[in-house]
Amino acid sequence: MKAFFIWVSIPLEVTLKIPQENSVEKITVDTNETVGSVISELGYDHDTVVVLYKDQPIPETTTITEDMDLTMLEITSKG
């Protein structure tokens, strides 16, 4: 009997804090999603936000892991 593998995508839960909006959201994402893909899915432009993990900026290419606590800061001026 030959072994076979079934690839299953297990959803991950991420907490995203947005201080400017005084909001905290629990977001479910697929395995292997990146910070950049989450930013895009939420409708934000990559050039207008900085994402922090453990109070440190992280690149948008960072892969999401289980139970990440992220903070998203909008850095655009409205003028």
Residue pLDDT tens, the chain, 79 long:
566 555 556 788 889 999 988 999 898 888 889 999 989 988 988 889 999 999 999 999 999 988 889 999 998 765 5
Per-residue pLDDT at 32: 85
What domains sit in the chain, N to C, each tagged with a CATH number?
12-74 (3.10.20.90)
Q: Of 20, 11, 16, 32, which is closest to residue 70 (Cα–Cα)?
A: 16
CB-based contact 30:12 (threshold 8 Å): yes
pTM: 0.78
* Cα gap 34→62, rounded to integer Å: 5
Per-residue pLDDT at 69: 93
| Residue 33: Cβ within 10 Å count | 17
Per-residue pLDDT at 1: 57
Q: Give the angle 52-56-61 at the CA atoms, nearest 5°.
A: 60
